[in-house]
Structure 1
Amino acid sequence: MDRRIDGLRVLACLMVVLLHVSSSHIHEFGPKWWSANVWDGLSRACVPLFFMLSGSTLLGRSESLTDFFRKRALRILPPLLLWSCFYLWWLWHNNAPTGNWLLAILRGPTMFHLWYFYAIAGLYLFMPVMRRFYQYSTQQEKIFFLVTWFLVASVYPTVQSLYTDVQCGRAGLLGDVYQLQYFGGYLGYLVLGAYLAERRIAWQKGAALFAVSSVGTILLTYWLSKRLGMPCEFFHLYLTPLVVLAAAGAFIAFLGQPAAPSSAGLQWLSGCTLGVYGLHPFVIDRLLISRGWMNSTGWVWIDPLIGTAAVFLVSLAVIGAIRLIKPLRWMV
C-alpha cells in the first residue's frame, strides 16, 4: 500500500478522535470555547478525508459487480453489526431504552459516530455507476461534475442556510425545482478524492489551502456565534465550502509527496483505524469523562491533545490485540 494513503488514513482517524475529545466545550461560551473552536476547526476535514480515500482507491478499479459488493460487504457489514451491538449493550448497561436490537440497527446508527458506516454503505451501492462515469469521462467532464457538486451541495446550501432555516447540505430550490439533488451529498467527495489523486500538485499548496480554509472555518464560526449570541457550529458541517476546501488541501498535502511503499508499522496502524473509529467514543467515556480526566492539566489548549493521544493509544492497543485473533480480525 502507498505510504501516503496509509498515512492520511491514520491522520484522519486521529482528527476524528481530536474532534470528539475537544467538542465537549463547543456548545457554550466560556474560557474553553476558543480552544474547542480551534481544535474542531482544524479537525473537521476528518470524515471527508475518509470518503476521499475511498474514492481514490476504488473509482479507478475494474472488477465485477459480484466481486465489488462481496468485498465491500465484508469490509463494512461486520464492523457495523459489531459496533452497533456493542453500543446497544452499552446503552442497555446504563439503563437506556434500546428496544428491539435488530430494528434499532435497521433504523439507523445506535451511537452518533456510526452514521459513517451507513453513509459509506449507501455510497458503495452507487459506486459501480460512478466507476463507469469516472473511468470513461474526460477531464473536462470530471471538472464539470466537481464544480457543479461544489456549487449545488456546498456553496448554495451554505448561503441559503445563513438566511433561512433550511439545513446545510440540502439543495433546496436547486433540488426541489431543478432536480439537481443528483449532485448532492457526500458523493462528490469520492470523485474529488479520485480526481486529486491523479493530479500532481505540490504538497505545499495543499498544506496552505488546508491552513487557510481551517482558519476561515474557525473565524466564521466565531463571527456567526457572536452574531447569534450563542455558540453555533454551522460552519463545521462537513459540506460547508471551507470544510470541503480544507479536506482537499489535506489530501493534496499528502498525495503531493513522493509515492513509496508503506512500512510494516504504518500498514498496521492503517489497518487498525476502522476499529479505532468504532471504539473511541467508549474509551472517551470510560477513560476521560467518567474519571474526570478531560481537563487533566487545566491548560485548555493542551488537555484536548493529551486526551486525544490517550484515547487513540488505548483504542489502538485494544484493537491491535483483537486483530491478533484471526477469526476476529475481519470484525475490526
Structure 2
Amino acid sequence: MHETKLQWADSLRALATVSVIILHVTAPLLTSMESLSNWWIGNIIQSSVRFSVPIFFMLTGSLLFDKEYAIDVFLKKRFFKVVLPFLFWSIPYILFSLVIKIMHKEHLDFFQVFMFTIDQFKNGSSYHLWFVYTLLGIYIFTPIISKWIKNSTNKEVLYFLSIWLITILYTYPIFSIFSTKLDLSHFTGFLGYAILGYYLRKISFENSTKKNLIAFILFFTGLLITIVGTFFLYKIKGKMDELYYEYLTFNVLMCSMGIYLYIKDKNIKSIFFLNFLNLINKFSYGIYLVHVLVLAFLTKAGITCFFIHPLIGIPVTSLLCLTISTLLIYIINKLPYGKYISG
C-alpha cells in the first residue's frame, strides 16, 4: 500500500483514469444531432470530467518536482516505466488501423505499410496517445526544472503561474485581441499544470472547511462556464465547437484546481473503496493506454452510450470498459516480464 500521506494522490489518479474513460464513452453524444436532450446529457457529463487529463499533469508535478535527479538515471527509469508500455500498446492500434484499411479494400504494399507504421509511431497511433507525447516532453525537462523549482520561492513560482494564466486567457477570442508580439511561449502548455500541481501540494489552508469551499467554488464556476459556453457556441455556430472543452482554458483550469484541492490531503476510510482505488491507481497508465482499443471492440459489439438510454448506456459502457481494461493489464502484468509492457 502507498504511504498514507500520498493516498490523496492515488485517489486523484484513479478518479482521473475513470473520468477519461467516461469522457471518451460520452463523446459520440456531442456529434449526434438526433436528440437535443442527448446532446445536453453529453455536454453536462463531458464538462464534468474535463479535469481528467489536467489532473494527470498536475500529479506529475506534485510527485516529481520536489526531488533532484541525475539525468541519466531519471530518463532510464522513465523509459522502462513509460516508453516501453507506450511502444508496446501502439502496435495493436497500428494493426487495428491497417485492418480497417484492408477492409476498405485499400491496396498497401510493403513500403506503404512500413511508412504508415513509422508515421503512426511518430505522430500517434490513436487519438488519446497525444497525452504520452506531451508527458514525455515534460519528463525530458523534469531533471532541469526540478532543480529550479526546488530552489525557488513561492513568489517566483507564482510569477511563472501568473504569466502562464495570461497565455491561457489568450485561448478565448475575447481576450486574444489583447495579445501582442511579446513572446510568452516559454510559459505556455501543459508544463504549467505540472508546476501548478507542485505549487498546490505545497500550500496549506487554515482549515479543511475553507479549502473545501474554495474547491467547490472553483469547480462549479468552471463547470457552469464550460456547460453554458459550449451551449452558446453550439447555438451561434449551429455545430459543435469544443473551445470550452480545451484543457488549456481558464474554465477547465478552475475545475481541475477544484478537484485537486478538494481531494488533496483526504484519506479514504472504507477498505473496499480504498482497495478499488488502489487497484485502478496501480494500473492507471496501462488502463489509459488500452481503454480506447477496448472501446473500439465494445463499439463493434454494439455496446456504446447509445445501446440504451445514455443515462444508463454511459455508466454501463464505462464500467465495462474499465473492467475489461483493468483485467487485461492485470493479466499481462502477471506474465513473465509483463510489468515492462503492461503500463
Q: Same fold (TM over 0.5)?
A: yes
What's the CA shift string for 1:188-245, capped at 9, x where partnerless? 0010000011122423432342222122201110011111121211110110110011
Question: What's the secondary structure of 1:232's corresponding residue?
Answer: coil
Q: Contact 2:7/2:267 (CA < 8 Å) preserved in 1?
A: no
Higher CA-based Rg: 2
Count of paired positions? 319
For 1:239, what is the secondary structure of its paired residue?
Answer: coil
Task: Find out whether 1:284 has 2:298 as its counterpart.
Answer: no
Map Cα deviations across residues 152-190 of structure 1 (whole Å, 9 max, x no partner): 1x1022235888xxxxxxxx944xx21111001111001
2:58 is the alignment partner of 1:37: no
Please tell me whether the aligned partners of residues 85 and 101 of structure 1 are also in contact (alpha carbons under 8 angstroms): no
- The CA deviation string for residues 61-89 of structure 1, in whole angstroms up to 9 with x for no partner, is 12211221111111221122012112111
What's the counterpart of residue 294 of structure 1?
A: 304
Contact 1:42-1:215 at 8 Å conserved across structures: no
CA distance in 1, matches of 2:303, 2:115: 34
> For residue 266 of structure 2, what is the aligned residue in structure 1?
257
Question: 1:157 aligns to what?
Answer: 171
Following TM superposition, by how much is the alpha carbon of 1:247 offset from its aligned partner in structure 2, in angstroms? 0.8
Report the CA distance between 1:256 and its aligned residue: 4.2
Contact 1:88 1:110 in 2 (8 A): yes
- 1:10 is matched by which residue type in structure 2? A
Shift of 1:305: 1.6
- In the alignment, does 2:246 pair up with 1:237? yes
For residues 34 and 265 of structure 2, the distance between their equivalents in structure 1, rounded to whole angstroms, comes to: 39
Distance 1:161 1:36 in 2: 27
SS at match of 2:338: helix
Greater alpha carbon shift after TM alignment, 55-64 vs 201-210: 201-210
Q: Deviations 1:101-158 (Å, cap 9, x if unpaired)? A: 6522442101111111111111111112211221111111111111110111x10222
Give the letter for the 2:169 counterpart.
Answer: V
**1:253-308 Cα shifts (integer Å, max 9, x gaps):** 11142599x95654332111111111111111212x21222246632323212211
Equivalent position of 2:208 in the other structure: none
Q: How does 1:44-123 map to 2 (within 5 A)?
A: 44-95=50-101, 98-100=113-115, 103-123=118-138
Which residue of 221, 224, 241 corresponds with 2:230? 221
Q: Flag the 1:19–1:259 CA change in 2: closer, same or farther, 3 A.
A: closer
Q: Tell me, in whole angstroms, the C-alpha distance in 1 between the residues paired with 2:276 and 2:231.
A: 40
Whether 2:144 is the aligned partner of 1:135: answer no
Give the partner amino acid of 1:272. F
Aligned alpha-carbon RMSD (Å):
2.3
Hey, which bits of structure 1, 4+ residues long, moved more than 6 A? none
Q: So what's the TM-score if we normalise by structure 1?
A: 0.89
Q: Percent identity between the aligned chains?
A: 25
1:198 alignment partner in structure 2: 202
Matched, 1:322 2:337: no
State the alpha-carbon separation in 2 of the partners of residues 216 and 256 from structure 1.
27
Q: How does 1:174-189 map to 2 (within 5 A)?
A: 174=180, 177-189=181-193
1:272–1:319 CA contact under 8 A, matched in 2: yes
Structure 2's unaligned 5+ residue stretches are 103-107, 206-210
What code does the residue aligned with 2:68 have? S
Residues 266, 326 of structure 1: alpha-carbon distance in 2 compared, 3 angstrom cutoff: farther
Q: How much does 1:312 deviate?
A: 0.7
Contact 1:203 1:256 in 2 (8 A): no
Unaligned runs of 5+ in 1: 164-171
Structure 1 residues 326 and 195 mapped into 2: Cα distance closer, same or farther (>3 Å)? farther
Does the Cα contact within 8 Å between 2:169 and 2:176 map onto a contact in 1? Answer: no
